[in-house]
Amino acid sequence: MNYHIDTIPVWEAIELDSECLLCALHRRLETGEVERYLGASVMEPDTRIQVNEKGFCGHHQAMLYAVSNRLGHALMLQSHLTETRQKLQKTLHHVEKTARHASSASLLDKLSGKEPSPKKALAPCVGEVEKLLSTCIVCDSIKSNMQRYLLTFFHLYKHEKDFRKRFEASKGVCLSHAAELLRLAPDYLSGDELADFAKTLCRLENEAMDRMQEELDWFIKKFDYRFAKEPWNNSRDAVERTVNKLRGWSVGQEPFPKE
């Protein structure tokens, strides 16, 4: 096994034997980024500039809030709000001006196409507002790092026999990441290697779906009094694992243990 700074996280993820090693990596990145933006980086000029420009999406705002560092959160919001207000003032002035002009145009001008309809006239203004809502510094960082991890995954699969064996014996990945791996596989693999990878991934996903179905069925049966005294086997967390397998990690036990 050849370990270096890029391969270590991917090796650590596959050694977890989880339902999806890529979900584990994604969640580790996400929690790390949230903690970073509420830590010492809150006062770093470069970080503040990026936060002011991009802000955070609703999902990551909720994660920041859940950390309960309200002062750190407030400091991030303060400068981001200031910059957003400056941009918004120009946009809203444009909205008022455009709406006033569009509403005062004659019906003849609108019908002839000389003047656009109010909806069409306001569309660029709406786009400017939506642009303010479309960026998230945490999402961007996760996306960039996950691209690197996916490249590393294929590098290890192609060049490290131990990693390939681990993957072939794993529980596969969630359906979302299965689609992503299949989309990227032709960029990194070819010929028999690509065919073997696709075959392996399809087998792992079919096996996982069969296992999930069996465990979920047993979970439901356990609520029937006739099966109350039967063992749970591996179905206690079947609901959580099924949710996460179908759409990516979102509920239940954290996929990457705290360090």
Is pLDDT of 143 > 90? yes
What is the pLDDT at residue 235? Answer: 92
Instruction: Pick the closest to residue 203 from 173, 236, 227 (CA basis).
Output: 173
3-class state of residue 68 by DSSP? coil
Here the tokens at position 98 are 């455009």
Mean pLDDT for all residues in the chain? 90
Considering only residues 214 and 116, tell me which one the structure prediction assigns the higher pLDDT.
Answer: 214
**In sequence order, which residues have a C-beta less than 8 Å from that of residue 17 and are 6 or more positions away?**
170, 171
What is the pLDDT at residue 40? Answer: 74
- Per-residue confidence band for 44, with pLDDT thresholds at 50, 70 and 90: confident
What is the pLDDT at residue 156? Answer: 97
Considering only residues 126 and 31, tell me which one the structure prediction assigns the higher pLDDT.
Answer: 31
Is pLDDT of 41 > 80? no
What's the DSSP call for residue 115? S
At 223-240, the pLDDT tens digits run 999 988 999 999 999 999
What is the pLDDT at residue 163? Answer: 97
What is the pLDDT at residue 197? Answer: 98
**In sequence order, which residues have a C-beta less than 8 Å from that of residue 240 and are 6 or more positions away?**
251, 252, 253
Q: Which of 45-49, 52-56, 156-160 has the lowest mean pLDDT?
A: 45-49
Is pLDDT of 5 > 60? yes
- Per-residue confidence band for 57, with pLDDT thresholds at 50, 70 and 90: very high
- Per-residue confidence band for 119, with pLDDT thresholds at 50, 70 and 90: confident
Q: Report d(CA 109, CA 97) in Å as an integer.
A: 18
Kindly state the percentage of the chain with pLDDT values over 70. Answer: 92
20-56 per-residue burial string, b: 16 or more CB within 10 A, e: under 16: bbbbbbbbbbbebbbeebbeebbeeeebbebbbebbb
User: What amino acid is encoded at 65 in this protein?
Assistant: Y
What is the pLDDT at residue 168? Answer: 98
Region 110-119 average pLDDT: 60
What is the pLDDT at residue 43? Answer: 72
Is pLDDT of 250 > 60? yes
What is the pLDDT at residue 113? Answer: 55
